[in-house]
Structure 1
C-alpha cells in the first residue's frame, strides 16, 4: 500500500498539476462556455473515464508497449489528431438551430462525454505520462505494486475530475452571460471548432 506521507505529497503535486491549463482544461472550458456547465462537466467526466483506461494501461503494461513501438504510437497519435480535427471542422461548419436561440449549442451531455472520452483514449502522450509519472511514487518495499499504481492513478483521475468540474462551473456561468449576445452565439461554434483543430494539430506534431 502507499504510505500516508507519499500519498499526501503525491496528492498535492497532482492537485497543483491538474489546475495548470492544458488540453483537458481547454476542451472543458470550450464546451462549458458554449453549451453550459452540464456539458462541461460531462466533458470532464469523459476525460476522467479516458484517464481511468490509461491508468489500467499503465498498470497492466500496455502503455509500455505503446512507448516501445514507434509505429503504434504514431498510429494512435494520428488517429487521435484526425478525430479532434474532424470534431473541430464539424463544429465550425455546423449551424445553431433556431430552438437554441438562448445560446445553448446543440450538444448533449452524452455526446460531449463520448467525444472527450475518445479524444483522451487516442492521446498516446497521456499513456506515456501515466507510465512515467505514477511509478515515481511507488514503493516496492511496501508490496502490491499493481495496487499502488491503481490507487495513484485513481487519485489522479479524481483530482483531475475535480479540477474540470471547477473549470466547467466557472466557464458555464460566464458562458451563460455571453451566450445571450447574438454575435457571440453566431461565432461560438467556430471558436470551439478552432480549439479542437488546434489541439488536433498540436497532437499530430508531438513526438514521443
Structure 2
C-alpha cells in the first residue's frame, strides 16, 4: 500500500467521523451529562466495538449481515431498543441541578460497556466498513485482508482521537451549562432526547 492511498483513506475517515452520527452524538451526550472523562471511556468502548466490526469486515462476516435481511433487522432493532432503554433511564432521573453537578458518576467500566454495546448493536457500522474499505484496496499490492486490517486500524486510531476531542469539548460545554440553572435542570432530559434520536436513526436505517 502506498502512502498516498493511506492518506487518502485517512482524509475520508476524518471527514466521515466529523459528520454527525450515532457514535459521536452518543459520546457527546455522556460528556455533557457527566464529564469529559466519561466521554473518553465511552469512546474506548466504541473503539472496542469498532474492532469487532473491522474483524467482521476482514473475515467477510459483514457481507453475511448485508445479505441477510433477518440478521440485519434483528441487530438493528436490538441497538434501537438499547438506546431507547437508556433514554427511558435519563427521563426518569431527577432534574435537580445540584444533583447533576455532584452526583456520583457512572463507573468507567459501565461507560466502557455502554460504548461497546452502542457500537456493536449498530449494523450500519459493519456495512459502512464493507462499503468503505474495498474502495481503498489495491489487489496488486498484496493480501487484501491484510490491507483491510491496516485501513481498519487507521480508522480506529483517528476515531479515538477525534471522539476524545469531542469529549473534551462537550465536557467544557457542560461546565458552562451547569452555571445556567434553567438548562442544568434539563440536562437529563436533553440526554434522553439525544438517545431517542440516535435510537430512531438506527431503527429506521436501511441496508
Structure 2 length-normalised TM: 0.93
Given that 1:47 and 1:120 are in contact with CA atoms closer than 8 Å, whether structure 2 keeps it comes out as: yes
Instruction: Identify if the C-alpha distance between structure 1 residues 184 and 109 changes in structure 2 by more than 3 Å, giving closer, same or farther.
Output: farther
Deviation at 1:207, TM superposition (A): 1.4
Aligned length: 207
Q: Counterpart of 1:107?
A: 106
- SS at the partner of 2:186? helix
Q: Counterpart of 1:128?
A: 127
Give 1:153-172 correspondences, 5 Å limit: 153-172=152-171
Q: Counterpart of 1:61?
A: 60
Deviation at 1:104, TM superposition (A): 5.3
Q: Counterpart of 1:17?
A: 16
Deviation digits for residues 148-169 of structure 1 (CA, Å, limit 9, x no counterpart): 1001011111111111111110
CA–CA distance in structure 1, aligned partners of residues 54 and 80 of structure 2: 21
Q: Counterpart of 2:197?
A: 198
Structure 1 length-normalised TM: 0.92
Instruction: Identify if the C-alpha distance between structure 1 residues 97 and 62 changes in structure 2 by more than 3 Å, giving closer, same or farther.
Output: farther
Given that 1:35 and 1:103 are in contact with CA atoms closer than 8 Å, whether structure 2 keeps it comes out as: no
Q: Counterpart of 1:83?
A: 82
RMSD: 1.8
CA–CA distance in structure 2, aligned partners of residues 79 and 168 of structure 1: 26
Given that 1:139 and 1:145 are in contact with CA atoms closer than 8 Å, whether structure 2 keeps it comes out as: yes
CA–CA distance in structure 1, aligned partners of residues 14 and 104 of structure 2: 31
Given that 1:102 and 1:180 are in contact with CA atoms closer than 8 Å, whether structure 2 keeps it comes out as: no
Task: Specify every segment of 5 or more residues in structure 1 that has no aligned partner in the other structure, as ranges.
Answer: none
- SS at the partner of 2:157? helix
Instruction: Identify if the C-alpha distance between structure 1 residues 101 and 143 changes in structure 2 by more than 3 Å, giving closer, same or farther.
Output: closer
Q: Counterpart of 1:94?
A: 93
- SS at the partner of 2:185? helix
CA–CA distance in structure 1, aligned partners of residues 96 and 115 of structure 2: 23
Deviation at 1:109, TM superposition (A): 2.2
Given that 1:34 and 1:103 are in contact with CA atoms closer than 8 Å, whether structure 2 keeps it comes out as: no
